[in-house]
Chains A and B, each alone.
Chain A
Amino acid sequence: MHKFANPARFMRLSNMFLPWIAGITVLLFALGLYYALVAAPEDYQMGSTYRIMFVHVPAAYMAQFGYGAIAVASAVGFIWKHPLADQAARAIGPVGAAFTALALITGSLWGKPMWGTYWIWDARLTSMLILFFVYLGYIAVWQTIEDHARAAKIAAIVAMVGLVNVIIIKFSVDWWNTLHQPASLMRMDGPTIGGDMLAALLLMIAAFNMFFFTIIIWRIQSLILRRRIRSLRMQLGGGRG
């Protein structure tokens, strides 16, 4: 595993795959938006407003996926002390926070016409808001602690503790009586939506996923470059940054 997580090898491989990943992202967004806004039929109850789902669900999914990825990368960094794992976790933080904010914004824009309110202290909504604050806390750890090893260790602990909230988000609609609808995609008995609606949703989730990977690769590359910049500055005698 260490062999494949080598920063130099990561830079080489990621530069090789990045154009392909970016190309697939554009293609998936084009297809997904076509299905979401044109091919998918109107809902008999919600009309066109339900199409908010095609950005809200992928954003909420990425918010949780991002946090799961941070927890896994943090655990790898914590146990095997691998710097690239820490960098990956650090790179995901702001991106995950942005997706969580987007899920909250689009959720509240969907809530107003459907529930008559932008916000309610419902278990799902509240746990998503907590996830946003956990992300902010995670980012703050990296921003405020200068010693990299110490920041990585504390950030890993924050990440693993915060994972409990992701489990609460997932099961909040089952454990509590919530205004938010139950899961319609990831269910034991299969999705409750079908046809072009399901195709649109899956395409948009795939597009968001590939977009996430593109951004994360750039951000990890940036963090690797900054380490190199720091060491060159030390070599030059400045010792800055």
Chain B
Amino acid sequence: MMEGNDVFLLFSYVASAVVLVALFVTSLWTKKKDEATLRKLEAQIRDLTDKQGKK
């Protein structure tokens, strides 16, 4: 059973989990998104170089 002050303890750990998970997800998601964008641009450059080579 939770005692009166335990709610503050619970909220502290929940707040910590929310902040840490938010940092984790946003940082990883941003990195993955940037990697995908870079791969797409590199592919575009390769295609462009190939086309120019054929000409």
Write out the residue numbers on chain B whose beta carbons fall within 8 Å of the beta carbon of A225.
31, 34-35, 37-38
Tell me the bound Cα distance from A102 to B11 in angstroms: 11
Compute how far the CA of A47 lies from the CA of B8 in the bound complex, rounded to whole angstroms: 12
A215 to B31, CA, bound (A): 10
* In the complex, chain A residues whose CB is within 8 Å of the CB of B22: 98
A132 contacts partner chain B, Cβ-Cβ < 8 Å: no
Say whether chain A's binding surface is mostly helix, strand, loop, or mixed.
helix
A222 to B46, CA, bound (A): 22
Residues of A within 8 A of B (CB): 47-49, 51-52, 55-56, 59, 95, 98-99, 101-102, 105-106, 109-110, 112-113, 211, 214-215, 218-219, 221-222, 225-226, 228-229, 232-233, 235-236
Listed by A's residue number, 21 A-B pairs whose Cβ atoms lie within 8 Å are: A48-B3, A49-B5, A51-B9, A52-B12, A55-B13, A59-B16, A95-B23, A98-B22, A109-B11, A110-B8, A110-B12, A215-B23, A215-B24, A218-B28, A219-B31, A222-B27, A222-B31, A229-B37, A232-B41, A233-B41, A235-B45
